């Protein structure tokens, strides 16, 4: 009997009975996960205006129908939908929406990262070419813009990973995203935020820059500092020498203690790590790949336990278009390493390395030639030259693999080539076999003639031996051609055909066994009929004898 004190209350309604038991819980608790057996009604129950607080609530159960789901609040409906893992349509729609959001956020992050790199290069080039210096308003404005884009980029990094965690929760039927937030994931998020955070800050800060090549400066120190304001005109005095006006800069030479040390802005040290933001371009390629956007491809990947990560996408692109991928990689490395070498290599006598010299140094380092006509004068330049040489070695290995793949014959071309080669060898074999027969008869004929034609006999015997040797070589080449014709694909084809023949034979054997069993059953029936007939004949004979 149902009462208000009973914790399990039966609920009935409408045209068809519903037997449903729910536990009385508070609204703040999680929905019950008890398995219930429900007979769904053919029509919704009549609307009830009862406001009895003791009336039990049925929406805390997981097995709620659509009518009950419409009557609860939006927040409770969202909780039930997230908890109800059988609602596959809701999960698929949520997953598609999250993928679109992640793609949009990835595009914005890629744009901000590339914009910061471009502004950084512009600001440094203006300083290197003595067009501007670090204390002007324009330089401060560019750096402030870079800082603003960096703040937005770091914020989007955390938001991107939040969406990524939500996708992981939807794919693995996890209710709370904090379950997927492991220590490895936290470290990866913080490391990515740290990489995106590095940028040249507004202001003018100097750092000591030393190298074993920069030790002493001559007493006539005639060099304009690229990172300081230009020298005033009061320090320059025109001198007339051989009808030519020469501007000589009169600067007090540095002290002996400061000669081996030189100070440059910290912007160079903070600018080069900004190229690490190019990983956002790789993420942009991955998110816009057809393998990631196509639902059928993802389903096949899930069935085969293959995750569509960036290494898999890059390997698939390299497999499809190796020449385009290798060319793009080499061109990108060329521009980045050339500019980085120009920014790093600084000398108090000549300033920053010219871009053409940096390009030439990159080429001879990338190809591992190393003429030695241009060498880096700082440890930073040496490091970039060493990294460029290592990348050049790997790029050369990839280039050899790409060229060998391009020169490889296709299956149809290989069949045609082998067929033509086999025909040519067969013709040569017939020709040399005919020569063997011809010169063999000639040797026999000249031997019977005696010693009168000794020279012709020697020549005929030499040609006979040569023809025999050529026949053996042709046979050996035919065997090698037959061995090269059989590859892994041919073995797979033979194995597949053999398996098909084996399956067909086994099916025939099974059908034959079934037929034999049927014949045995028929023979048994015939034998039984013959025995019954024999018994009946014996009875008839006994009756005839008795009469």
Q: E-assigned strands of 182-273?
A: 206-209, 236-241, 244-249, 262-265
430 within 8 A of 441, measured Cβ to Cβ: no
Share of the chain above pLDDT 70, in %: 69
Region 476-480 average pLDDT: 88
- If asked whether residues 401 and 422 sit together in one domain, one would say no
Pick 154 or 448 by higher pLDDT.
154
- If asked whether residues 136 and 274 sit together in one domain, one would say yes
- If asked whether residues 369 and 343 sit together in one domain, one would say yes
HSE-CB of 84 using CA atoms within 13 angstroms: 20
- If asked whether residues 400 and 447 sit together in one domain, one would say no
Q: Say if 532 falls within a structural domain.
A: no
Q: Say if 306 falls within a structural domain.
A: no
Q: How far is CA 275 from the centre of its chain?
A: 20
- If asked whether residues 493 and 351 sit together in one domain, one would say no
List the CATH number of the domain containing 378: 1.10.287.70
Among 407, 437, 466, the domain-final residue is: 407
Measured CA to CA, the distance from residue 203 to residue 196 in angstroms comes to: 19
pLDDT for res 237: 39
361 within 8 A of 376, measured Cβ to Cβ: yes
Mark 405-430 as b/e (b = at least 16 C-beta within 10 Å): eeeeeeeeeeeeeeeeeeeebeebbe
Q: How far is CA 14 from CA 39, 47, 348, in A?
A: 12, 11, 94
pLDDT for res 167: 87
In which domain, by residue range, is 364 found? Answer: 321-407
| 304-336 per-position pLDDT tens digit | 777 778 888 888 888 888 888 888 888 999 999
Give me the number of domains the chain comprises. Answer: 3
Q: Say if 476 falls within a structural domain.
A: yes
- If asked whether residues 399 and 420 sit together in one domain, one would say no
31 within 8 A of 62, measured Cβ to Cβ: yes
Measured CA to CA, the distance from residue 196 to residue 188 in angstroms comes to: 12
pLDDT for res 275: 92
Question: Which value, to the nearest 10 degrees, does the dihedral of the CA atoms of residues 382, 386, 389, 395 take?
Answer: -130
Q: Say if 312 falls within a structural domain.
A: no
What element of type H or E holds 20?
Answer: strand 20-23
- If asked whether residues 327 and 473 sit together in one domain, one would say no
| 34-89 per-position pLDDT tens digit | 434 444 444 444 434 444 444 444 444 444 455 555 666 766 666 665 555 446 67
169, with CB counted inside 10 A (0-12, 13-18, 19+), is buried
pLDDT for res 414: 79
Both structure tokens of 525: 């029936």
Using alpha carbons only, what angle is made at residue 137 by residues 132 and 142, rounded to the nearest 5 degrees?
A: 80
Whose CA is closest to 404, among 416, 393, 396, 413?
396
Q: Say if 499 falls within a structural domain.
A: yes
Q: Say if 226 falls within a structural domain.
A: no
pLDDT for res 487: 66
- If asked whether residues 445 and 356 sit together in one domain, one would say no
Q: Which residues, in sequence order, are bridge partners of residue 539?
A: none
Residue 169 has pLDDT above 70, yes or no: yes
Is the pTM for the entire model greater than 0.95?
no
Percent helix / strand / coil, the chain, rounded to 5: 65, 5, 30
- If asked whether residues 332 and 456 sit together in one domain, one would say no
Q: Which residues, in sequence order, are bridge partners of residue 388?
A: none
- What is the DSSP secondary structure assignment for residue 248, as one 8-state letter? E
- If asked whether residues 197 and 265 sit together in one domain, one would say yes
135 within 8 A of 225, measured Cβ to Cβ: no
Q: Say if 122 falls within a structural domain.
A: yes
| 429-447 per-position pLDDT tens digit | 999 999 999 999 988 888 8
For the ranges 79-88, 122-131, 303-312, 459-468, the maximum mean pLDDT occurs at: 459-468
Largest CA distance in the chain: 169
Both structure tokens of 376: 């880096």
Q: How far is CA 285 from CA 32, 107, 317, in A?
A: 44, 10, 10
- If asked whether residues 112 and 177 sit together in one domain, one would say yes
- If asked whether residues 400 and 416 sit together in one domain, one would say no
Q: Say if 39 falls within a structural domain.
A: no
Number of CB atoms found within 10 A of residue 90's CB = 15
């Amino acid at each position: 009997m149902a009462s208000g004190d009973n914790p399990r209350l039966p609920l009935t309604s409408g045209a068809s009975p519903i037997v449903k038991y729910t536990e009385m819980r508070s609204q703040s608790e999680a929905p019950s996960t008890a398995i219930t057996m429900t007979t769904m009604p053919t029509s919704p129950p009549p609307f009830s205006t009862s406001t009895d607080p003791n009336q039990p609530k049925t929406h805390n159960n997981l097995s709620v129908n659509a009518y009950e789901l419409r009557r609860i609040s939006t927040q409770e409906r969202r909780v039930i939908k997230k908890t109800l893992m059988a609602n596959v349509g809701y999960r698929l729609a949520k997953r598609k929406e999250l993928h679109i959001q992640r793609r949009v956020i990835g595009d914005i992050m890629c744009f901000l990262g590339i914009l910061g790199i471009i502004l950084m290069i512009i600001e440094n080039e203006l300083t290197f070419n003595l067009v501007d210096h670090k204390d002007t308003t324009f330089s401060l404005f560019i750096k402030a813009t870079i800082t603003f884009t960096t703040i937005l980029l770091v914020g989007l990094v955390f938001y991107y990973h939040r969406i990524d965690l939500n996708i992981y929760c939807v794919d693995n039927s996890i209710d709370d995203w904090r379950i997927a937030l492991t220590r490895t994931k936290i470290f990866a998020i913080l490391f990515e935020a740290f990489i995106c955070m590095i940028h040249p800050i507004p202001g003018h800060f100097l750092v000591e820059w030393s190298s074993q090549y920069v030790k002493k400066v001559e007493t006539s120190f005639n060099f304009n500092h690229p990172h300081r304001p230009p020298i005033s005109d009061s320090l320059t005095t025109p001198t007339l020498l051989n009808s030519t006006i020469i501007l000589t800069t009169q600067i007090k030479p540095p002290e002996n203690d400061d000669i081996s040390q030189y100070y440059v802005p910290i912007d160079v040290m903070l600018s080069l790590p900004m190229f690490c933001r190019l990983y956002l371009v790789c993420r942009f390629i991955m998110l816009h790949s057809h393998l990631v956007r196509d639902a059928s491809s993802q389903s096949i990947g899930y069935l085969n336990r293959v995750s569509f990560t960036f290494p898999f996408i890059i390997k698939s692109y390299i497999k499809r278009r190796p020449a385009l991928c290798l060319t793009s990689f080499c061109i990108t490395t060329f521009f980045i390493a050339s500019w980085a070498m120009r920014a790093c290599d600084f000398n108090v006598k000549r300033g920053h390395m010219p871009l053409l010299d940096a390009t030439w140094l990159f080429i001879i380092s990338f190809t591992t030639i190393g003429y030695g006509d241009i060498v880096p004068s700082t440890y930073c330049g040496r490091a970039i030259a060493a990294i460029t040489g290592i990348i050049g070695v790997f790029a050369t290995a990839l280039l050899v693999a790409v060229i060998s793949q391009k020169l490889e014959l296709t299956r149809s071309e290989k069949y045609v080539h082998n067929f033509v080669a086999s025909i040519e060898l067969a013709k040569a074999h017939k020709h040399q076999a005919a020569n063997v027969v011809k010169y063999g008869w000639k040797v026999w004929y000249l031997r019977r003639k005696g010693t009168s034609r000794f020279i012709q006999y020697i020549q005929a015997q030499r040609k006979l031996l040569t023809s025999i040797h050529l026949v053996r070589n042709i046979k050996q080449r035919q065997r090698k051609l037959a061995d090269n014709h059989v590859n892994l694909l041919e073995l797979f084809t033979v194995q597949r055909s053999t398996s098909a023949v084996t399956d067909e034979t086994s099916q025939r054997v099974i059908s034959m066994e079934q037929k034999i069993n049927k014949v045995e059953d028929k023979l048994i029936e015939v034998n039984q009929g013959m025995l019954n007939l024999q018994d009946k004949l014996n009875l008839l004979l006994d009756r005839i004898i008795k009469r």
